[in-house]
Each structure stands twice: as structure tokens, then as C-alpha cells.
């Protein structure tokens, strides 16, 4: 389903602060065709493009996501932690992020993280934004570690492709993917075995591995039949194509 084998993790997160408009734009500028971003809820129910369940690591503020609102994050600096050059970068709502990604023609792997929130709280506004702005559904896949998030997607927007995220692939993966009518399985590459990869492919699913940053680790994975890698450093994998400079 994913035409590009290289998916930029949290945008081009090795060259710009993760999950920001800058990281999205930079990915497109460097010829990357697909990106992965994370969507989570703030305390007031607004949905933002963000990974952690707190703002401590990637902003100049502190506190859990539940303690913040669309209003309280307005003046945060979400770029200086990464580099001086990115000072003033904002935490953005999921809707403008989706609009930008669509306008750039990128493929999107949108990962939904529930943390302590219900599926309806997080997924309903994400689906609303996607159904409003997204045009090419072949270039969209929603993934999640949270089964409830994917169940919600299946019920309310079955036309959007779903992928199940695992750290380690569990014994019941076939049952779960079938129930979800998922198109793909996404797993942590360090735990994947050749046998598992072959089994996933034999069942007709796409297989994505995260977060592959070491090119020497990847040749084995391609041999096992994986379809794509999710990486912080697409430049390490694309440099031989001349698409991107290190």
C-alpha cells in the first residue's frame, strides 16, 4: 500500500524538531514521499501533533498534556530544544498539520496515541479533520498501539486503511489483524524475526518496521520481505539516490 519504502518518523525529525510543520515541510523539500506523525489529545480535548504525554522534552514549558489546552500551548517554543535555528516553532493542532501534508502531496502514516483518553475523545476529531481535508486515501494509513483507537476507526471511517502497531509481535496477531480488517502490521525491528516477517507477508499484510536508523540493520529486513522502514534519518537511506544531502 505504501509506495515509498522510506517513511520519515515524526516528519524529518533528525533535521527539524519532531512533529512540527518545519519537520513536515523539510521532508517534502528533501524528496521524501511518506511521513509518520503522532496525534494526541490535550486536556481540553483538542488534538495536536505531538508524541509525548507531556510537554517537557520538546518545548520550553512543563506539565502533562492533560494539564494543557489549546490556549495554554499558544506561546510555547517547541523548537529551541532542538536548535537555535528552530526557535519559535509551535505545537500545532492536527487539522493544519493534515492540511499541510495533503497540500504537499505527501503520504501520511498517522499514529494515534490515546494515553489515558477514550477512543472517541481522540479519534473522532482526527477522523473529522481527515475526512474534511484528505483526498488520496491510498496515501493514508492510520496506525495505533491502542486497539480501541483502531476499532473506532473501523466503525466510523472504514474506508481509511488501518495498521496495527506492536513493539513485539504477539501470538494473537493474525486474529487481531483480521478482526480489524487491517492492511498492515507495524513493529519494532529489533524484535522482528525472519520467521515472523515471512508469516506476516504470507497472510498478505504490509509490514513496516520502526525506528530503523542504522542502514547496516536494514539489508536483512528487506531480504525478509518488509515493505517499508520508519526512520528518523531518511537521508541515510536516500543519499545514494541523490534525493537528499546528509
User: Contact residues for ligand G3P (CB under 6 A)?
Assistant: 9, 36, 38, 51, 111, 143, 165, 186, 210-211, 230
- Residue whose grid cell is 515541510: 25
In this structure, what are the phi and psi dihedrals at residue 55, rounded to the nearest 5 degrees? -100, 5
- In the shown chain, the binding pattern of residues 18 to 57 toward Mg ion, with x for contact by CB under 5 A and - for none, equals --------------------x-------------------
Residue 177 CB, nearest approach to ligand G3P (Å)? 16
Rounded Cα gap, residues 113 and 119, in angstroms? 9
9 is known as an active-site residue: yes
Residue 230 CB, nearest approach to ligand G3P (Å)? 5
Residue 160 CB, nearest approach to Mg ion (Å)? 17
Instruction: Indicate which of ligand G3P, Mg ion, none lies near residue 143 (CB less than 5 to 8 Å, by partner kind).
Output: ligand G3P
Catalytic-labelled residue, pool 9, 68, 86, 186: 9
Q: Which is nearer to Mg ion, 111 or 206 (CB)?
A: 111
3-state SS, residue 206: strand
Rounded Cα gap, residues 68 and 198, in angstroms? 44
Instruction: Indicate which of Mg ion, ligand G3P, none lies near residue 59 (CB less than 5 to 8 Å, by partner kind).
Output: none
How remote is the C-alpha of 101 from its chain's centroid? 12
Q: Which is nearer to ligand G3P, 142 or 240 (CB)?
A: 142
Which residue stretch of 103-111, 121-129, 185-193, 218-226 sits at the interface with Mg ion (rule: CB under 5 A)?
103-111
> Shortest Cβ contact with ligand G3P: which residue?
210
Rounded Cα gap, residues 233 and 24, in angstroms? 14
Asked if 53 contacts 40 with a C-beta cutoff of 8 angstroms, the reply is yes
Rounded Cα gap, residues 37 and 51, in angstroms? 8
The half-sphere exposure of 230 on its side-chain side, counting CA atoms within 13 A, is 26
- Cell output for 166: 506492536
Instruction: Indicate which of ligand G3P, Mg ion, none lies near residue 201 (CB less than 5 to 8 Å, by partner kind).
Output: none
Q: Which residues are catalytic?
A: 9, 51
Amino acid at each position: 500500500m505504501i509506495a515509498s519504502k522510506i517513511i520519515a518518523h515524526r516528519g524529518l525529525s533528525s533535521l527539524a524538531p519532531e512533529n512540527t510543520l518545519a519537520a513536515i515541510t523539510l521532508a517534502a523539500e528533501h524528496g521524501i514521499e511518506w511521513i509518520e506523525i503522532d496525534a494526541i489529545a490535550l486536556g481540553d480535548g483538542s488534538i495536536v501533533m505531538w508524541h509525548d504525554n507531556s510537554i517537557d522534552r520538546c518545548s520550553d514549558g512543563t506539565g502533562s498534556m492533560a494539564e494543557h489546552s489549546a490556549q495554554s500551548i499558544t506561546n510555547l517554543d517547541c523548537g529551541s530544544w532542538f536548535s537555535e535555528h528552530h526557535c519559535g516553532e509551535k505545537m500545532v493542532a492536527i487539522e493544519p498539520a493534515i492540511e499541510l501534508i495533503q497540500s504537499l502531496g505527501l503520504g501520511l502514516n498517522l499514529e494515534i496515541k490515546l494515553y489515558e483518553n477514550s477512543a472517541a475523545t481522540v479519534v473522532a476529531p482526527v477522523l473529522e479533520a481527515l475526512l474534511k481535508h484528505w483526498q488520496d486515501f491510498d496515501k493514508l494509513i492510520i496506525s495505533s498501539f491502542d486497539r480501541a483507537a483502531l476499532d473506532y476507526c473501523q466503525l466510523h471511517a472504514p474506508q481509511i486503511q488501518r495498521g496495527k502497531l506492536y513493539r513485539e509481535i504477539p501470538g494473537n496477531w493474525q486474529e487481531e489483524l483480521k478482526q480489524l480488517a487491517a492492511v498492515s502490521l507495524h513493529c519494532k525491528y529489533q524484535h522482528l524475526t525472519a520467521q515472523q516477517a515471512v508469516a506476516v507477508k504470507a497472510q498478505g499484510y504490509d509490514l513496516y518496521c520502526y525506528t530503523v536508523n542504522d542502514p547496516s540493520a536494514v539489508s536483512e529486513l528487506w531480504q525478509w520481505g518488509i515493505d517499508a522502514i520508519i526512520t528518523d534519518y531518511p537521508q541515510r537511506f536516500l543519499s545514494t539516490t541523490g534525493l537528499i544531502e546528509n
